[in-house]
Structure 1
Amino acid sequence: MPYAFDHATFAAAAQQIDGVVHQTPMVRSPHLSEIAGVPVLLKAENLQTTGSFKLRGAFTRLSRLSDEEKQQGVVAASAGNHAQGVAFSAQRLGIPARIVMPEDAALPKVEATRRYGAEVVLSGPDVAAALTVAMADAERSGRTFIHPYDHEDVVAGQGTLGLEILDQVPDVGTILVPTGGGGLLAGVAAAVHSVRPEVAVVGVQAESAAAWPESLAVGHPVQLERLQTMADGIAVALPGEVPFGLIRDHVASVDTVSEELISHAMLLLAERAKLVVEPSGAAGVAALLEEPGIFEGPVVAILSGGNVDPLVLLRSIRHGMRAVRRYLKARVIVTDTPGSLAALLVELAATGANVIDITHSRTTTNLAVGEVAVTVDLETKGPEHCADVITHLRDRGYSAAEH
């Protein structure tokens, strides 16, 4: 039947996923509220079953397949979150599932998908290649292809998150939504506006993987030629056709954020809210950090997922520490004599900075004979401490600068 994407559409999807998808917590953030000047709440979808919002759309889509389609099985492609959502849903509904994942997909995500009972096929360098393989598999095998965002049932399922937000924060003024292909943004915006059309729904993309601003400007989906972001969950080159009209009609804007702000947001969420999120899940908070005073409150930032590889988490936290000047890389010139490095370390200890790593080179250009360039990675206590470290070294006669 045709989709109206009205309140009844999303209410029906909410009823369909009841008992499988649970209502995730709404966490108040005093720290972000202070920054923004309005109440800020975090919709902790990173605590959802399978670790992300993707379960909502996946279960809605799979539960509406015909008996014949269910018996034939499904195939999907994903780097992680959609894979787990489809695998869990298929297991729950007794449907055979095959998931194509990129060859370099994070091991924890691959193993989680297998634990939910799906057959995992590793193929291709990225999600776009995996999608091609999965669609070809569907044509060949008769399995139903489950698109991660470009299907009416998927959008309806994701929209149930919008209804939850209205139940938990009835007076919400702005909702910040991490955005890739557009399924979540379209669903949340249409669902919320079916009840409260005055709420501002804002999409947020990584600036180095932002297909939506240009697509909306020209009036149709435009494919990006290149994606480069740590936020792989929202790194989508081509916006969806199904979400496009809903986003055009219901979304206030689609903003972009830098990698530095994403990592800063991840660090803040871990430290202040005690919530571990993946880079894509922190995009909404990153937008709030960039322009804290422009959003009408109360603000709800959706934390769309928490399936982060530990190595990615480590790199992101370090990146975030550097973004807020709690991590300093300094280049110091010392004489090439015994004891010079030890003397430098004594001076660094006097500043209270903690040495994480240290390298030195005698072959760097612009060095005089008898000089060594020492590069030190330091944990610091913030911007003022970084400046104090450099000043202290210069006061002791060293040529020192941030590197």
Structure 2
Amino acid sequence: MPTLNPAILPAVSAVRTAAERLRAFLPPSRIIRHETLSAQLGVDVWFKLELENPTGSFKVRGAYNVLAGLSPDERAKGVVASSAGNHGLGVAYASKAFGAPAMLYVPVTAPQVKKDGIRALGATVNDEAADYDVAMVMAKAHAQREGIRFINPCLGLDLLAGQGTVALELLDQVPDLQTVLICTGGGGLLGGMGAVLRHLAPGVRVIGVQSVETAAMAKSVAAGHVVDTPVTPTLADGLSGQIDDDALHIGQVCADDLLVVTEAELGETIAWLHRTTGMAVEGAGAVTVAALRHGYVEAPHGPLVAVVSGRNIDPSRLDMLVRQHPG
């Protein structure tokens, strides 16, 4: 088993504690078998529907666990976070549950549906940042200035412990799991799930998936050091942004493979999912399915689970993609 840095990746005991905290707040997300992909690939293919969580993604898990671990005084002061959208929704939802003020910095390019959702949950939104990385700089400065907790969207032992609960659920739902595909940006879900799977199910093949425009992790792992990656327009806005050395460690020790799909393949998959399942899936959540549909997973072993996380796609963008890819 790779050596997992305990300062970056949570212990399984911490993930179990997070699961106990979440038990009354969030039921396990469903898994469904996808008949067409199972037939095409010759193995059982399941979708883990994290997009059915209250805020539409897995992000609410880590956010809730962070808020649950704060003292009453810390909650009263409030929290601040940077987000491409879904982390912001998770923080806003968890903050509302605990009665804590929340300030979210998001890029001006964040989907309107995400910004509106954050505001509807009672959080304050600043969307002046040019991109995701600028939003993080602004949020960290706010936290230091006000002396309040900054909730990193991808790092932190308490955050990753919350994300790792997805893996605990999967091991209960699919005890003979052989392969899991995880949507990967800054490595929060990959790290949380990987920390669990490396200890409890080391034989499971863990595959991170990105888009060509959000491939900071894949490029950095391939190079063996953090690679500065330009921020460019993408359908997978939830996976956008740079990574740092901690995230690089996550990619190096938690992923057996890192796959990169094209934006065209991603757009086609979003339309296909909507046409065949009725689900509205944003780009960050559809990358795993795109990798399966377009043959990126070599010699797949089943049961195979693709995490599908993110339903917060602007309706106009979804309509455009459906028209572009009528089937």
TM-score between the two structures when normalised by the length of structure 1:
0.76
Q: CA deviation at 1:293?
A: 5.2
2:37 equivalent in structure 1: 32
8 Å Cα contact 1:260/1:320 also seen in 2: no
Question: CA shift at 1:142, angstroms?
Answer: 1.6
User: Which residue is 1:259 aligned to?
Assistant: 263
Residue by residue over 1:127-151, the C-alpha shift from the partner in whole angstroms, topping out at 9 and shown as x without a partner, is 2222222111112122211110021
Change (3 A) 1:98 1:259: same
Q: Measure how far apart 1:152 and its partner are.
A: 1.5
Q: Which residue of 2 aligns with 1:387?
A: none
Letter of the 1:251 counterpart: A
Separation of aligned partners in 1, 2:78 and 2:165: 25
3-state DSSP of counterpart to 1:272: helix
| Deviation for aligned residue 1:165 | 1.0
Greater alpha carbon shift after TM alignment, 147-156 vs 310-319: 310-319
Q: Which runs of no fewer than 5 residues in structure 2 stay unpaired?
A: 1-5
Judge conservation of contact 1:6–1:194 (CA < 8 Å) in 2.
Answer: no
* Amino acid corresponding to residue 50 of structure 1 in structure 2: T
Query: Match for residue 3 of structure 2?
Result: none
Question: Which of 97, 117, 121 does residue 112 from structure 1 map onto?
Answer: 117
1:224 alignment partner in structure 2: 229
Task: Specify which of 92, 96, 102 is matched with residue 107 of structure 2.
Answer: 102
Q: Which of the residues 157, 163, 167 maps onto 2:168?
A: 163
Counterpart code for 1:145: F
Aligned length in residues: 321
Distance between the aligned counterparts of 1:300 and 1:125, measured in 2?
A: 35
| Letter aligned with residue 225 of structure 1 | P
* Equivalent of 1:174 in 155, 167, 179: 179
Alignment partner, residue 285 of structure 1: 289
Alignment partner of 1:19 out of 19, 24, 37 = 24
How many Å separate the matches in 2 of 1:2 and 1:140?
A: 25
| Structure 1 unpaired stretches of 5+ | 327-403
Q: Which residue of 2 aligns with 1:194?
A: 199
1:250 matches 2:263 = no
**Aligned counterpart, 1:329:** none
Residue type at the aligned position of 1:282: A
Residue among 308, 320, 328 paired with 2:313: 308
% identical equivalent positions: 37
Report the secondary structure of 1:50's partner residue. Answer: coil
The corresponding residue for 2:66 is 61
Contact 1:150–1:240 (CA under 8 A) maintained in structure 2: no
Q: What is the aligned-residue RMSD (CA, Å)?
A: 1.8
Q: Distance in 2 between matches of 1:106 and 1:281?
A: 14
Q: Distance in 1 between matches of 2:270 and 2:281?
A: 6
Higher relative contact order, chain-length normalized (CA < 8 Å, sep 6+): 2
Residue 129, structure 1, aligned to residue 112, structure 2? no
Asked which structure has the greater CA Rg, the reply is: 1
TM-score calculated relative to the size of structure 2: 0.92
Mapped to 1, the partners of 2:262 and 2:248 lie a distance apart of 24
Aligned ranges 1:82-97 → 2 under 5 Å: 82-97=87-102
State which of 2, 11, 14 in structure 2 corresponds to 1:6.
Answer: 11
**Pair 1:235 & 2:240 matched:** yes
Report the CA distance shift for 1:250/1:122 in structure 2 as closer, same or farther (over 3 A).
closer
